[in-house]
Amino acid sequence: IAAPPSPPSLSGPQCKTQSASFGLLFDIDGVLVRGRTPIPAARDAFRKLLDASGALRVPVVFVTNAGNCLRQAKAAQLSDVLGVPISQEQVMLSHSPLRMFEQYHHKHVLVSGQGPVEDIAKNLGFTQIVTIDMLREAFPLLDMVDQTRRPKELPTTTPDFPKIDATTAIIVFGEPIRWETNL
């Protein structure tokens, strides 16, 4: 019997201690940054967690209820803001727990929200993805509210829209820009 896989490191590639009796969990928005601007004392306070070689003294995880980007992008932003390498394994976004819903990963899902929603869904393991924009492009009359994006002439065929027997799940990655279109 094989040993279960070890969990991903939550302390980052530069953490030297794996024996700490505690770890720290930081909320990102409003605690470390406000938008893309670091909160003035956050960078200095965070540096107090580093040893002389620049490695974290304790495991650190960053959480946010934002869901409009990939974990890699948020880790890169935090690395830049804090001046310390942060790995994507240390970042939990609002959609990160969806990775555990493996029973839906190979079924048709409709995704909605802001940012690169298709890339986010793929990164979480979903493989048969339809976005609201794909649906709106294939069926322009479904959006009865936003007539400014409606084509002047309706297409005679549905452009490369996947044949879907049924959509198994609808995933909302945060608030979409146009709720009326998404509804």
pLDDT tens-digit series, residues 65-101: 988 999 999 999 999 888 888 999 999 999 999 999 9
pLDDT for the residue 83 = 84
Report the sign of the C-alpha dihedral through residues 48, 69, 88, 100, in that order: positive
What is the arithmetic mean of pLDDT over 173-180?
79
Instruction: Give the pLDDT of residue 157.
Output: 64
Q: What per-residue confidence (pLDDT) applies to 60?
A: 94
Domain residue ranges in the chain: 24-92, 98-182
Note the pLDDT of residue 6.
Answer: 43
pLDDT-derived band at 7, boundaries 50, 70, 90: very low
Tell me the per-residue pLDDT of 11-47, one tens digit each, with 9 for 90 and over: 555 555 557 889 999 999 888 888 878 888 888 888 8
Residue 148 has pLDDT above 90, yes or no: no
Residue of 4 and 168 predicted with greater confidence = 168
- Asked if the model's pLDDT at residue 152 lies above 50, the reply is yes
Query: What pLDDT, on a 0 to 100 scale, did the predictor assign at position 28?
Result: 92
The DSSP code for 14 is T
* DSSP alpha helix (H) spans, 22-165: 40-47, 71-82, 117-123, 132-138
Residue 123 CA to its chain's centroid (Å): 8
- Helix, strand or coil, per DSSP, at residue 112: strand
pLDDT at residue 9 tops 80: no
* Phi, psi (rounded to 5 degrees) for 119: -65, -40
Rg (CA), the chain: 21
Homologous superfamily of the 24-92 domain (CATH)? HAD superfamily/HAD-like (3.40.50.1000)
pLDDT of 20 reads: 80
Within 10 A of 130 (CB to CB), how many other CB atoms are there? 19
